Structure 1
Amino acid sequence: MQSLLHITATTLAAASLSGCVMQDAPASDVDLTFAPIYKGVRTDLLDGDLVNFHVEMQGARSGADVHAYAACAAAQYALIRGYGFARHVRTTIETRADVWTGDAVYTVSASLPRGLKTIDAEVVVSDCAENRIPTV
Protein backbone atom coordinates (compact mmCIF):
# COMPACT_ATOMS: atom_id res chain seq x y z
CA MET A 1 0.00 0.00 0.00
CA GLN A 2 1.42 3.37 -0.98
CA SER A 3 0.77 6.52 0.95
CA LEU A 4 0.40 9.82 -0.84
CA LEU A 5 2.15 12.79 0.73
CA HIS A 6 0.36 16.03 -0.02
CA ILE A 7 1.95 19.13 1.46
CA THR A 8 0.01 22.36 1.10
CA ALA A 9 1.19 25.91 1.51
CA THR A 10 -0.75 26.10 4.79
CA THR A 11 1.05 23.06 6.11
CA LEU A 12 4.35 24.67 5.19
CA ALA A 13 3.33 27.99 6.76
CA ALA A 14 2.03 26.37 9.93
CA ALA A 15 5.17 24.28 10.27
CA SER A 16 7.47 27.22 9.72
CA LEU A 17 5.50 29.41 12.11
CA SER A 18 5.60 26.77 14.81
CA GLY A 19 9.33 26.21 14.41
CA CYS A 20 9.12 22.76 12.80
CA VAL A 21 11.63 21.87 10.15
CA MET A 22 10.31 20.28 6.97
CA GLN A 23 12.12 19.03 3.91
CA ASP A 24 11.44 20.83 0.64
CA ALA A 25 8.50 19.32 -1.18
CA PRO A 26 8.52 18.80 -4.93
CA ALA A 27 6.60 21.55 -6.72
CA SER A 28 3.93 19.04 -7.72
CA ASP A 29 3.05 18.44 -4.04
CA VAL A 30 2.40 22.12 -3.28
CA ASP A 31 -1.17 23.40 -3.61
CA LEU A 32 -0.77 25.93 -6.42
CA THR A 33 -4.52 26.61 -6.64
CA PHE A 34 -4.60 28.35 -3.25
CA ALA A 35 -5.20 32.04 -3.98
CA PRO A 36 -6.59 33.74 -0.86
CA ILE A 37 -7.61 37.36 -0.63
CA TYR A 38 -6.24 38.98 2.51
CA LYS A 39 -8.71 41.68 3.49
CA GLY A 40 -6.77 43.39 6.25
CA VAL A 41 -5.65 43.51 9.83
CA ARG A 42 -6.84 45.75 12.66
CA THR A 43 -4.80 45.92 15.84
CA ASP A 44 -5.94 46.97 19.29
CA LEU A 45 -3.53 47.43 22.17
CA LEU A 46 -5.29 45.83 25.13
CA ASP A 47 -2.88 46.37 28.00
CA GLY A 48 0.87 46.99 27.96
CA ASP A 49 2.28 44.15 25.88
CA LEU A 50 -1.06 42.44 25.13
CA VAL A 51 -2.31 43.04 21.57
CA ASN A 52 -5.51 41.96 19.80
CA PHE A 53 -5.34 41.27 16.04
CA HIS A 54 -8.51 41.13 13.95
CA VAL A 55 -7.81 39.56 10.55
CA GLU A 56 -10.13 38.89 7.65
CA MET A 57 -9.53 36.84 4.55
CA GLN A 58 -11.41 35.17 1.76
CA GLY A 59 -10.61 31.78 0.28
CA ALA A 60 -9.03 30.18 3.36
CA ARG A 61 -8.83 26.41 3.23
CA SER A 62 -9.12 26.04 6.99
CA GLY A 63 -8.62 27.85 10.25
CA ALA A 64 -4.88 27.22 9.91
CA ASP A 65 -4.73 29.80 7.10
CA VAL A 66 -6.43 32.40 9.32
CA HIS A 67 -4.15 31.54 12.24
CA ALA A 68 -1.07 31.94 10.00
CA TYR A 69 -2.33 35.34 8.82
CA ALA A 70 -2.76 36.49 12.44
CA ALA A 71 0.69 35.18 13.39
CA CYS A 72 2.23 37.11 10.51
CA ALA A 73 0.51 40.28 11.68
CA ALA A 74 1.66 39.71 15.27
CA ALA A 75 5.26 39.10 14.21
CA GLN A 76 5.42 42.27 12.10
CA TYR A 77 3.75 44.29 14.85
CA ALA A 78 6.35 43.08 17.33
CA LEU A 79 9.16 44.19 15.01
CA ILE A 80 7.54 47.58 14.36
CA ARG A 81 7.34 48.17 18.13
CA GLY A 82 10.99 47.21 18.61
CA TYR A 83 10.34 43.75 20.06
CA GLY A 84 11.76 40.48 18.83
CA PHE A 85 9.20 37.99 20.09
CA ALA A 86 5.52 37.28 20.50
CA ARG A 87 3.52 34.65 22.35
CA HIS A 88 0.16 33.38 21.17
CA VAL A 89 -2.56 33.65 23.81
CA ARG A 90 -5.70 32.68 21.90
CA THR A 91 -7.41 32.79 18.51
CA THR A 92 -11.09 32.49 17.68
CA ILE A 93 -12.16 31.98 14.08
CA GLU A 94 -15.53 32.51 12.41
CA THR A 95 -16.71 31.97 8.85
CA ARG A 96 -19.53 33.51 6.86
CA ALA A 97 -19.85 32.19 3.35
CA ASP A 98 -16.28 32.36 2.06
CA VAL A 99 -15.07 35.11 4.43
CA TRP A 100 -13.02 34.00 7.42
CA THR A 101 -12.30 36.26 10.40
CA GLY A 102 -9.83 35.71 13.16
CA ASP A 103 -9.67 37.37 16.55
CA ALA A 104 -6.19 36.64 17.93
CA VAL A 105 -4.43 37.85 21.05
CA TYR A 106 -0.65 37.89 21.41
CA THR A 107 1.82 39.31 23.88
CA VAL A 108 4.89 41.02 22.44
CA SER A 109 8.23 41.23 24.21
CA ALA A 110 11.88 42.08 23.74
CA SER A 111 13.05 38.75 25.16
CA LEU A 112 11.78 35.23 24.58
CA PRO A 113 8.61 34.91 26.65
CA ARG A 114 7.76 31.86 28.70
CA GLY A 115 5.30 29.43 27.18
CA LEU A 116 4.99 26.95 24.38
CA LYS A 117 3.46 29.12 21.66
CA THR A 118 6.24 31.64 21.22
CA ILE A 119 7.44 33.02 17.91
CA ASP A 120 10.66 34.67 16.83
CA ALA A 121 9.31 37.71 14.99
CA GLU A 122 12.12 38.01 12.42
CA VAL A 123 11.91 34.34 11.45
CA VAL A 124 8.12 34.41 11.16
CA VAL A 125 8.06 37.61 9.07
CA SER A 126 10.58 36.01 6.70
CA ASP A 127 8.44 32.86 6.45
CA CYS A 128 5.35 34.99 5.81
CA ALA A 129 7.08 36.73 2.91
CA GLU A 130 8.09 33.36 1.44
CA ASN A 131 4.51 32.11 1.71
CA ARG A 132 3.07 35.40 0.38
CA ILE A 133 1.12 36.11 3.58
CA PRO A 134 0.92 39.86 4.21
CA THR A 135 1.91 41.38 7.52
CA VAL A 136 0.72 44.59 9.23
Structure 2
Amino acid sequence: MVAIAHIATGAALTACSSPQAEDTPFRPGYGGVETRLLDGDLVEFRVSMTGARDGGDVERYIECAAAQYALIRGYGFTRHLRTNVQEKGGVWAGDAVYTISPSLPRGLRTLDAEVVVQNCAENGIPTV
Protein backbone atom coordinates (compact mmCIF):
# COMPACT_ATOMS: atom_id res chain seq x y z
CA MET A 1 0.00 0.00 0.00
CA VAL A 2 2.86 2.37 0.76
CA ALA A 3 4.44 1.77 -2.64
CA ILE A 4 1.17 2.61 -4.39
CA ALA A 5 0.87 5.87 -2.45
CA HIS A 6 4.47 6.76 -3.38
CA ILE A 7 3.83 6.09 -7.07
CA ALA A 8 0.63 8.13 -6.99
CA THR A 9 2.43 11.02 -5.32
CA GLY A 10 5.22 10.90 -7.92
CA ALA A 11 2.67 10.89 -10.73
CA ALA A 12 0.87 13.85 -9.19
CA LEU A 13 4.12 15.81 -8.92
CA THR A 14 5.02 14.99 -12.51
CA ALA A 15 1.63 16.20 -13.68
CA CYS A 16 2.18 19.53 -11.91
CA SER A 17 5.59 20.20 -13.47
CA SER A 18 5.89 22.24 -16.62
CA PRO A 19 7.35 20.08 -19.40
CA GLN A 20 7.55 23.13 -21.64
CA ALA A 21 10.05 24.87 -19.34
CA GLU A 22 12.26 21.76 -19.23
CA ASP A 23 12.22 21.36 -23.02
CA THR A 24 13.03 25.00 -23.81
CA PRO A 25 16.78 25.48 -24.36
CA PHE A 26 18.47 28.33 -22.53
CA ARG A 27 19.64 30.82 -25.16
CA PRO A 28 20.40 34.10 -23.41
CA GLY A 29 21.09 37.29 -25.30
CA TYR A 30 23.28 39.65 -23.29
CA GLY A 31 22.55 43.27 -24.16
CA GLY A 32 25.49 44.95 -22.51
CA VAL A 33 26.43 46.59 -19.24
CA GLU A 34 26.40 50.22 -18.18
CA THR A 35 28.46 51.17 -15.15
CA ARG A 36 28.22 54.34 -13.13
CA LEU A 37 30.54 55.27 -10.29
CA LEU A 38 28.30 56.72 -7.59
CA ASP A 39 30.81 57.61 -4.89
CA GLY A 40 34.32 56.33 -4.27
CA ASP A 41 33.83 52.57 -4.00
CA LEU A 42 30.08 52.54 -4.71
CA VAL A 43 29.16 51.44 -8.26
CA GLU A 44 25.84 50.99 -10.07
CA PHE A 45 25.47 48.41 -12.84
CA ARG A 46 22.65 48.28 -15.39
CA VAL A 47 22.16 45.36 -17.75
CA SER A 48 19.64 44.10 -20.26
CA MET A 49 19.15 40.63 -21.65
CA THR A 50 16.71 38.42 -23.52
CA GLY A 51 16.07 34.73 -23.08
CA ALA A 52 16.43 34.80 -19.29
CA ARG A 53 14.68 31.98 -17.48
CA ASP A 54 14.01 34.21 -14.50
CA GLY A 55 15.42 37.14 -12.56
CA GLY A 56 18.26 34.96 -11.25
CA ASP A 57 19.83 34.88 -14.72
CA VAL A 58 19.84 38.69 -14.77
CA GLU A 59 21.32 38.83 -11.27
CA ARG A 60 24.15 36.46 -12.28
CA TYR A 61 24.90 38.65 -15.32
CA ILE A 62 25.16 41.73 -13.08
CA GLU A 63 27.32 39.83 -10.59
CA CYS A 64 29.73 38.92 -13.39
CA ALA A 65 29.92 42.54 -14.51
CA ALA A 66 30.54 43.76 -10.95
CA ALA A 67 33.32 41.26 -10.37
CA GLN A 68 35.11 42.13 -13.62
CA TYR A 69 34.74 45.85 -12.89
CA ALA A 70 36.38 45.35 -9.50
CA LEU A 71 39.32 43.56 -11.12
CA ILE A 72 39.69 46.26 -13.79
CA ARG A 73 39.90 48.87 -11.02
CA GLY A 74 42.53 46.86 -9.17
CA TYR A 75 40.23 45.56 -6.43
CA GLY A 76 39.71 41.95 -5.44
CA PHE A 77 36.28 41.97 -3.82
CA THR A 78 32.75 43.23 -4.20
CA ARG A 79 29.83 43.45 -1.81
CA HIS A 80 26.28 43.35 -3.09
CA LEU A 81 23.98 46.06 -1.74
CA ARG A 82 20.80 45.82 -3.83
CA THR A 83 19.39 44.56 -7.13
CA ASN A 84 16.19 45.37 -9.00
CA VAL A 85 15.05 43.18 -11.90
CA GLN A 86 12.09 43.59 -14.22
CA GLU A 87 10.84 42.02 -17.43
CA LYS A 88 8.83 43.73 -20.14
CA GLY A 89 7.98 42.18 -23.48
CA GLY A 90 10.64 39.50 -23.20
CA VAL A 91 13.43 41.97 -22.38
CA TRP A 92 14.85 41.73 -18.89
CA ALA A 93 16.48 44.72 -17.22
CA GLY A 94 18.42 44.83 -14.02
CA ASP A 95 20.19 47.42 -11.99
CA ALA A 96 22.31 46.78 -8.94
CA VAL A 97 24.65 48.58 -6.58
CA TYR A 98 27.86 47.05 -5.30
CA THR A 99 30.83 48.30 -3.34
CA ILE A 100 34.30 47.37 -4.57
CA SER A 101 37.13 46.74 -2.14
CA PRO A 102 40.82 45.76 -2.13
CA SER A 103 40.22 43.43 0.85
CA LEU A 104 37.33 41.28 1.96
CA PRO A 105 34.61 43.71 3.09
CA ARG A 106 32.34 43.15 6.03
CA GLY A 107 28.91 41.75 5.29
CA LEU A 108 27.20 38.60 4.17
CA ARG A 109 26.97 39.16 0.42
CA THR A 110 30.64 39.50 -0.45
CA LEU A 111 32.27 38.09 -3.57
CA ASP A 112 35.84 37.19 -4.46
CA ALA A 113 36.06 38.90 -7.85
CA GLU A 114 38.61 36.50 -9.37
CA VAL A 115 36.57 33.43 -8.45
CA VAL A 116 33.35 34.99 -9.78
CA VAL A 117 34.93 36.04 -13.10
CA GLN A 118 36.36 32.55 -13.60
CA ASN A 119 32.95 31.02 -12.88
CA CYS A 120 31.30 33.43 -15.32
CA ALA A 121 33.76 32.48 -18.08
CA GLU A 122 33.11 28.77 -17.46
CA ASN A 123 29.36 29.38 -17.74
CA GLY A 124 29.52 31.63 -20.81
CA ILE A 125 28.31 34.75 -19.03
CA PRO A 126 30.03 37.89 -20.34
CA THR A 127 31.62 40.47 -18.07
CA VAL A 128 32.32 44.18 -18.60
Structure 1 stretches of 4+ moved >2 Å: none
1:30-55 Cα deviation digits (max 9, x unpaired) = 98811100000000000000000001
Q: Distance in 1 between matches of 2:90 and 2:75?
A: 34
The structure having more radius of gyration, on CA atoms, is 2
Superposed counterparts of 1:116-135, under 5 Å: 116-135=108-127
TM-score after normalising by structure 1: 0.77
Counterpart AA for 2:34: R
Counterpart AA for 1:97: G
Structure having the higher helix fraction is 2
Q: Distance in 1 between matches of 2:26 and 2:39?
A: 36
Identity %: 65
2:32 to 40, 43, 67: 40
2:43 to 51, 65, 72: 51
1:87-128 Cα deviation digits (max 9, x unpaired) = 000000111111000010000000000000000000000000
2:3 alignment partner in structure 1 = none
Give the secondary structure class of the aligned counterpart of 2:36: strand
1:39-81 Cα deviation digits (max 9, x unpaired) = 0000000000000000100010011000000000000000000
Query: What is the aligned residue count?
Result: 110
Q: CA-atom RMSD, angstroms?
A: 1.7
2:13 alignment partner in structure 1 = none
**Runs (5+) with no aligned partner, structure 1:** 4-29
TM-score after normalising by structure 2: 0.82
Give the secondary structure class of the aligned counterpart of 1:69: helix
1:95 aligns with 2:72: no
Q: Distance in 2 between matches of 1:50 and 1:65?
A: 23
Q: Distance in 2 between matches of 1:117 and 1:31?
A: 33
1:86 alignment partner in structure 2 = 78
**Runs (5+) with no aligned partner, structure 2:** 1-5, 11-21
